[in-house]
Amino acid sequence: MPMNKKWTILNINKLLLKNKSRLEYYKIEEAQLESELIVMHVLNLNKSDLLLNLQKNVTESELKKNDDIIKIRQKNIPLAYILKYQYFYNAKFYVDNKVLIPRQETEILVEICLSILENTKSKVKILEIGTGSGIITGTLSQILNTKNIEYIATDISIESLKIAKNNILKVNKNTKLNLINNDLINGLKGEFKFIISNPPYLSTEDMKTINKELKSEPVKALYGGEKGYEITEKILKQLSEFEILFENLILEINPSNKTYLLKMIKQLFSDYFRYVIKDYNGNDRFILLTKNNPTRFLNQFNYCPNWKNLPSVFIEGATIICALCISLME
């Protein structure tokens, strides 16, 4: 769709509709959402103010700024890279093409961590492997906001660690933070309350079929090896070989690798309870290892709409599935 040289759009509502139409023409999947995000960015409005000012006139300079963003977006450059930020868990984090764009599904990982960590009173350490933009550590630090937790975050990319440091300290300047430029956890020692990782997990075949937008993101943050599980496999082996103790471990995974990884985990960490947790689309997206009592853990997810249909007594070896889809794996 050619861009009109002269616009007759005068108010926010019409601009939103015009943006949506253009984005749909270029086959942008979430055209309505992106239209709103662009206008909010251009006019420096939050969502509430946007909705309250739909009839407000838009200036020529604002129209031009909006126009420039649309022109770049039509080239399949992700909007987050154009705006230089992404919202995650209601906070704004800086991103550029040196780091992976945070996905909404990773908020589930954060929810699980928060449910276990929220009552932490003793001094503990949390390790994030492959922190990228730092959004997971940053979100936990911002919400938990306690001096009792020290965060250690690793990444193989120095550029990523610089972005992570700025993001984490921006949301909580008092974060006890130790950033380490390292290949996963090679050589690390210590005892951790929680170890967290969202490693690259796309396979060679997956990389052949990724869309144009994903191709804009760093390959090192996407490609997990020929089968997709090689980096996750390396993490698990390092955890079993190095002098590292942990109470909880959560991994974001490629659903197609679940069976292989669970088999490996059962061999290496047989004394942990093992859960598979589904994402918003019903895919097996996370694996949780925990020393915690299973019944107590499941009770923390009583906001699930189907919680009333779950058994009140935990039966070891049973498979428990709810709307959040937490499954205890045998």
199 in Cβ contact with 251 (< 8 Å): yes
Indicate whether 315 pLDDT > 90.
no
For residue 269, the model assigns a pLDDT of 93
DSSP summary character for residue 57: B
For residue 9, the model assigns a pLDDT of 61
For residue 279, the model assigns a pLDDT of 86
- Residues 134-149, mean pLDDT to the nearest whole number: 95
- Residues 130-145, mean pLDDT to the nearest whole number: 96
pLDDT category, 120, cuts 50, 70, 90? confident
- Between β-strands 149-155 and 124-129, what pairing exists: parallel, antiparallel or unpaired? parallel
| Residues forming beta bridges with residue 11, ordered by sequence position | 57
- Cα torsion 301, 304, 308, 311: sign: negative
What are the φ/ψ torsions at residue 137 (nearest 5 degrees)? -60, -40
- How far apart CA 137 and CA 87 sit, in angstroms, is 15
- How far apart CA 79 and CA 96 sit, in angstroms, is 10
Extents of the domains making up the chain: 12-75, 106-292
> Residue 238 is which amino acid?
Q
15-49 residue pLDDT tens: 999 999 999 999 999 999 999 999 999 999 999 99
- How far apart CA 78 and CA 218 sit, in angstroms, is 12
170-182 residue pLDDT tens: 999 999 999 999 9
CB crowding 153-175: b at 16 or more within 10 Å, else e: bbbebeebbebbbebbebbbeeb
CB crowding 53-91: b at 16 or more within 10 Å, else e: eeeeebeeebbeebbebbeebbeeebbbbbbebbebbeb
- Residues 44-71, mean pLDDT to the nearest whole number: 95
- Residues 123-134, mean pLDDT to the nearest whole number: 96
204-255 residue pLDDT tens: 999 999 988 899 999 999 999 999 999 999 999 999 988 899 999 999 999 9
| Residues forming beta bridges with residue 284, ordered by sequence position | 278
- CATH of segment(s) 106-292: 3.40.50.150
157-203 residue pLDDT tens: 999 999 999 999 999 999 999 999 998 998 899 999 999 999 999 99
For residue 121, the model assigns a pLDDT of 80
